[in-house]
Amino acid sequence: MPRCPRPRLYTGVLYEALGLESLPPAARRTANRSLVVVSALWGALRPTDAVPPYRVSMGTSLPGIGPLAAYWRPLLDAPLTEAAGDGLVVDCRSSTYQAAWTPGPDLAARTVAVRVLREADGRRSVVSHMAKHTRGEVVRHLLLRGGRAPRTPARLAAAVGEAFEVEPGERRLDVVVRT
């Protein structure tokens, strides 16, 4: 069975905006070391991990297993906590994938979820499809800016604010897209 590393396997809106394969070598090394993809079929993966091509969403319920988010919930804590190390976690997962893992209290205190808001006619609303694209752009910006990774939510907001309109929250960073 052919195996494919993440940059070629995942081709959705977020991954296209992130453009892993087009990153300069230093940014690509940082991505390979620091990014974790939560897969509905394989669990926690790094960009360099190779797995067979597949199409299974975390919202899927499989016969004999049930909903994949519930299946992965007890299994993702150890690898995702280990991958987080002692740094800030920038969580770009959609709500479907968030259902598969909730960080424990210590890790939750240093996890910032990226939420995308659309502003039109002075009103803001949460978006989904555009959110994936914007989250990919946010991660690309963080990888390309070089230097040390932001270690606090305030520094994350400042770093993302270099390229986007942001509104920091306690455990959430709102990125505002005007249409």
Q: Tell me the residue type at 83.
A: A
Write down the number of H helices and E strands in the chain: 8, 11
**pLDDT of 9:** 67
How many domains is the chain built from? Answer: 1
pTM for the full model?
Answer: 0.90
Residue 27 C-alpha from the chain's centroid: 16
| Mean pLDDT for back-to-back runs of 10 residues, the chain (179 residues) | 54 88 94 93 91 90 96 96 94 94 93 92 82 95 90 94 92 89
**pLDDT of 8:** 58
**pLDDT of 49:** 87
Determine which helix (DSSP H) or strand (DSSP E) holds 67, and give its type and residue range. Answer: strand 66-67
**pLDDT of 54:** 86
- Domain hosting 102: range is 4-178
CA of 173: how far to CAs of 28, 89, 128, 168, in Å? 24, 12, 15, 5
**DSSP assignment letter at 149:** P
